[in-house]
Structure 1
Amino acid sequence: MPRKTIAVATAALAVALLAGCSTGGSEDGGSDAAGSGSTQTSAPRSATPEAASQSKAEACSAFQSEVEDAAKDLQEQSSQLQADPAAALAKLDELDQSVSEGVASVQNAEVKPKAQAFQAAYRDLLTEVKAITQDPASADMAAFKASTQGLEAASTDFRTVCPSS
Structure 2
Amino acid sequence: MPSRRHVSALAVLALGGLLLTGCAADSSSSGGPDESGSSGSDSNSRDMNTATDQTVAEACADLQEGLSASTSALQEGVSELSADPNAAVEKLNAFVVEFAEVRNGLGNAEVKAQADSAGVAFEELVAQAQAAAADPAALDMNAFMETTQNVQTELTAIGEVCAAG
Fold agreement, TM-score > 0.5: yes
What CA RMSD, in Å, does the superposition of the two structures yield over aligned residues? 2.7
Identity %: 34
Within 2, Cα distance between the matches of 1:131 and 1:138?
A: 8
User: Which secondary structure does the structure 2 equivalent of 1:162 belong to?
Assistant: helix
Give per-residue Cα distances to partners, 1:47-105, cap 9 Å, x unaligned: xx9433x1211111111212222113432564345311121111101111111111012
Q: Which residue of 1 aligns with 2:52?
A: 51
TM-score by length of 1: 0.76
Within 2, Cα distance between the matches of 1:121 and 1:138?
A: 20
Q: CA deviation at 1:17?
A: 1.0
Number of matched pairs: 146
Q: CA deviation at 1:134?
A: 1.6
Compare the two structures and name the one with the higher helix fraction.
2
Q: Which residue of 2 aligns with 1:37?
A: none
> 149-158 or 97-106, which moves further after superposition?
97-106
Q: Which residue of 2 aligns with 1:137?
A: 137
Asked if 1:92 corresponds to 2:96, the answer is: no
Matches within 5 A, 1:33-72: 50-52=51-53, 54-72=54-72
Within 1, Cα distance between the matches of 2:77 and 2:135?
A: 24
Q: Which has the larger radius of gyration?
A: 2
- Give the gaps of 5 or more residues in structure 2: 33-49
Within 2, Cα distance between the matches of 1:72 and 1:89?
A: 14
Asked if 1:104 corresponds to 2:107, the answer is: no
Q: Which has the higher contact order (CA 8 A, sep 6+)?
A: 1
> 92-101 or 132-141, which moves further after superposition?
132-141
Contact preservation (8 Å) 2:80, 2:87: no
Structure 1 runs of 4+ aligned residues shifted over 4 Å read none
TM-score by length of 2: 0.76
